[in-house]
Amino acid sequence: MNNLFNDENTLGMMNGEDFVEQDDMFSDQDDVFVDTTVSPPYPGTPLRVGSAGTNVSIMQSYLNAIRLQMFPSMNRLTVDGVYGQETRTTVSQYQRLSGLCVDGVIGEETWNSIVTDYNSLPTQPGDEYPGTVLRPGSTGTAVRNMQTRLNRIVPVYTAINYQTVDGIYGNSMTNAVRRFQGQFGLTVDGLIGQQTWDKIVSVHTGVMNNNNTNVTSAYPGYVQTTGSRGDSVRFIQSYMNSVNSYNSHNWPVLAIDGIYGPQTRQVVLAFQNRYNLAADGMVGPNTWRRMITEFNNSI
């Protein structure tokens, strides 16, 4: 489906102070010991400008959540899995506010601090379905609950757009719900009835316990190719990025914008060549099926 709404997945960085980094012989990028009591644990190598992949997406999403509930002066990040200058600035802001060495690099100390702060954020109470369908125009605690849970699974299921946790069921939440439903075999209507509620709770629990749920995204029924647009293209871009990161293929990291452009075609060709599929740069049923399999293997 074409994206009818402008969502927050492509929001730029808000204006804010760009802190000056400090040289420090004890910079946390030099840390080498991994604290396995922190979940998710430090990946073992620092994240810095030029890094890309799932761990970067996790940090971007966590920093956005921390900004909303702890440090509103921090800049909001686009959750795209690419560690650019905007991510470096927000990391520096977080380090300053948290009393850490300000170097704009996520080493072990900064990673553990971000994860600890994120895991300590207050969650919305109750997994039990509220008894009424949530829909555009709904407001309140149940909406905040679902916004929080959907945001927390974005680092794994990156085709879902990040949204502000404000308790208001608006266009951005409708997009996020539709993109969730499309990946888990639910009716794609943008509404949260009991089946969608229960599935969001289940998938969120899996992500929090490092036991991610496989997607079952259905083939859209027609070939996706250059010029195609919509959520099926977002799924392709998201899944290709995950397969790329997990297998260290060194393909370009795709912007998840729902537009099948030349770079998406390039990565699809690389995927097809790697997995012995007919290499035409288009996603038909065979490429779609293999893509779903490889994505599920990657999570």
85 within domain boundaries: yes
CATH number, domain with residue 182: 1.10.101
| Last-in-domain residue among 208, 242, 263 | 208
One domain for residues 114 and 13: yes
Please tell me the predicted confidence (pLDDT) of residue 140.
84
* Cβ neighbour number for residue 122 with a 10 Å cutoff: 7
What is the pLDDT, as a whole number, of residue 269? 98
- Structural domain boundaries, residue 189: 141-208
Q: Is residue 187 domain-shared with residue 255, that is, in the same domain?
A: no
Question: Does the residue 1 lie in any domain?
Answer: no
The answer to whether residues 154 and 95 belong to one domain is no
pLDDT of residue 67: 86
Last residue of a domain, one of 193, 208, 223: 208
Count other C-beta atoms under 10 Å from residue 41's C-beta: 15
- pLDDT value, residue 130: 80
Whether residue 108 sits in one domain with residue 146: no
Same domain, 185 and 95: no
265 belongs to a structural domain: yes
Is residue 34 in a domain? yes
Q: Which residues of the chain have pLDDT under 50?
A: 1-36, 124
Domain match, 277 and 235 both: yes
- Has residue 126 been placed in a domain? no
Residues 204, 281 share a domain: no
CA atoms within 13 A on the CB side of 207: 21
The verdict on residue 127 lying in a domain is: no
Q: What is the spatial distance between Cα 110 and Cα 31, in angstroms, rounded to a whole number?
A: 10
Pair 16, 99 in one domain: yes
Confirm whether 241 is domain-assigned.
Answer: yes
Neighbour tally for 260: CB within 10 Å: 23
The answer to whether position 125 is within a domain reads no
19 shares a domain with 92: yes
- Within this chain, do residues 91 and 182 fall inside the same structural domain, yes or no? no
Contact 188, 159 (CB under 8 A): no
Instruction: Please report the pLDDT score of residue 23 as a whole number.
Output: 35
Q: How many domains does the chain have?
A: 3
CA dist., res. 21 & res. 25, Å (int): 13
Do residues 24 and 108 share a domain?
yes
Residue 151 shares a structural domain with residue 112: no
Q: Could you tell me the CATH number of the domain that includes residue 89?
A: 1.10.101.10
